[in-house]
Amino acid sequence: MTGGHLGKTIFVFPPLAPSELARRWAHTSNTLRAAGAVVGDLPAPHGIVHTVQVGPADTVRATCADTRDEATYRVSVDRALQAAGPAAATVGVSSGSELSRDAIDEA
């Protein structure tokens, strides 16, 4: 966790049942915390999250869409790759939205 690689990591949520995604994220976030990372809660329901990035100071940035198809995953990954840091607001994404924990907390 000290090498600075976590901020460059994109976690992709596969098209699975929301309960399975919740189980997998709980395991991943607990493992990251045990290794010393500060990982906040997801800013959206597990079932609509496509990608997650863990940023500095407990920020979690997620790309989300109601549809899980090749097009929405492509846009979600593209958005995640473009991100230089946590999003400050909700931004529209093809057939979905991009959310940050900061945007949810301000609403």
Distance CA 34, CA 21 (A): 20
Question: Is pLDDT above 80 for 67?
Answer: yes
Which segments of 1-107 are extended strands (E)?
11-12, 49-54, 60-65, 91-93, 96-100
- pLDDT per position as a tens digit, 12-24: 999 999 999 999 9
Percent of the chain with pLDDT over 70: 73
Tokens of 82: 């473009």
Percent of the chain with pLDDT over 90: 48
56 burial type by CB count under 10 A (0-12 exposed, 13-18 middle, 19+ buried): exposed
Contact yes or no for 64/51 (Cβ under 8 A): no
Domain boundaries, the chain: 6-106
Q: What pTM does this model have?
A: 0.72
**Rounded mean pLDDT of 20-45?**
91
- pLDDT per position as a tens digit, 70-98: 999 999 999 988 874 444 333 333 344 44
Question: Is pLDDT above 80 for 65?
Answer: yes
